[in-house]
Amino acid sequence: MPSDGMLLIDLGNSSLKAAMLQQGGLGPIERLAYAGADLVDVAESLAAQRTAPAAVSLASVLPAVLTDMFRKTLARRWACPIRLVRTQSEAHGVRIAYADANRLGVDRWLALIAAHREHQGDVVIADLGSALTVDVLRADGEHLGGVIAPGFAAMFAGLSASTRFPAPTPPEPDHDDLGRDTGEGVSAGLLFAQIGAIREVVRLARERHGLRPRLLLTGGDAARVARRLAEALDGIEIERVDDLVLRGLAIAATG
């Protein structure tokens, strides 16, 4: 098969993103949801849709056994190097707060790298996906730490598992006032919980660490909180940045 350059793959908790590296940037991004699917089938599907790249850079937050299963399936289909990118304590101008680099998810590390490379000044990075992660990065590349909380879907699943609420599916978390029925109450609660976590991290960055951060929103649920956060964080510059993890992977793969 002919080669098309380097393929970047971001293997998340419930979806995959893939893009070719083109002149230091990203080509068109392919998204594939796979929650509950067999990762061998996912890898086979991805390989069937593309010609073999010259190389693959893979970032995965999945357990090692699942990541290895995915990688080996691609390797059987494509005769090319497949590099698994791992978190490093210090690289690309970023120094992480964790004493053990293996304890910081590679998705958070890649987001830090992209934020440091592409944005000047202090930043707070809120990644709203299967989990909500919020990290603080000083302008000089020093990662001060962060928080992890359930994302919208995980929060609703936990609520549903421990209560008898009648709603059979997650409500859209776009109700931003007091609820007048159960669905509105759950929607508002999910939204306010996410906003509250992000707002508290911004407060800590400002008051305890003396930063003047810009807030970067990324992840599949970023749009759901953007407007309400702008009201809750008056005076803080907020920017949505799509595919921050994949952008960081492009930096790590070429640096």
End-to-end CA distance of the chain: 27
- The residue-averaged pLDDT of 219-236 equals 89
Is the CATH code 3.30.420.40 the one for domain 90-251? yes
Residues 6+ apart with CB under 8 A from 36: none
User: Which H/E stretch holds residue 56?
Assistant: strand 55-60
Q: Which of 89-98, 199-208, 246-255 has the lowest mean pLDDT?
A: 246-255
pLDDT, one tens digit per residue, over 97-142 is: 999 999 999 999 999 999 999 999 999 999 999 899 999 999 999 9
Q: Which of 84-98, 170-184, 208-222 has the lowest mean pLDDT?
A: 170-184
pLDDT, one tens digit per residue, over 21-63 is: 987 689 999 988 887 778 899 999 999 888 899 999 999 999 9
Per-domain residue ranges of the chain? 6-84, 90-251
Q: Which two tokens stand for residue 206?
A: 């400002």
C-beta neighbour count of 154 within 10 angstroms: 17
> Across all residues in the chain, what is the average pLDDT?
90
Q: What percent of the chain has pLDDT over 70?
A: 94
- Quote the CA–CA distance of 144 and 60 in Å, as a whole number: 23
pLDDT of the residue at 24? 63
pLDDT at 167 over 60: no
CATH of domain 6-84: 3.30.420.40
Cβ(221)–Cβ(198) below 8 Å: no
Cβ(193)–Cβ(224) below 8 Å: no
Instruction: Let me know if the fold of 6-84 is the same as that of 90-251.
Output: yes
Helix axes 182-207, 222-232, angle to 10 degrees: 60
Smallest CA-to-CA distance from 106 within 82, 81, 127, 76 is with 127
- The residue-averaged pLDDT of 211-227 equals 92
pLDDT at 3 over 50: no
202 pLDDT tier (thresholds 50, 70, 90): very high
Q: Which residues of 67-95 are buried (b: 16+ CB within 10 A; e: fewer)?
A: bebbbebbeeebebebeebebbbebbebb
pLDDT of the residue at 174? 67
pLDDT of the residue at 188? 86
User: Which H/E stretch holds residue 187?
Assistant: helix 182-207
Full-model pTM? 0.91
pLDDT at 177 over 90: no
Residues 6+ apart with CB under 8 A from 65: none
Which residues are catalytic, by number? Answer: 107
C-beta neighbour count of 23 within 10 angstroms: 6
170 pLDDT tier (thresholds 50, 70, 90): low
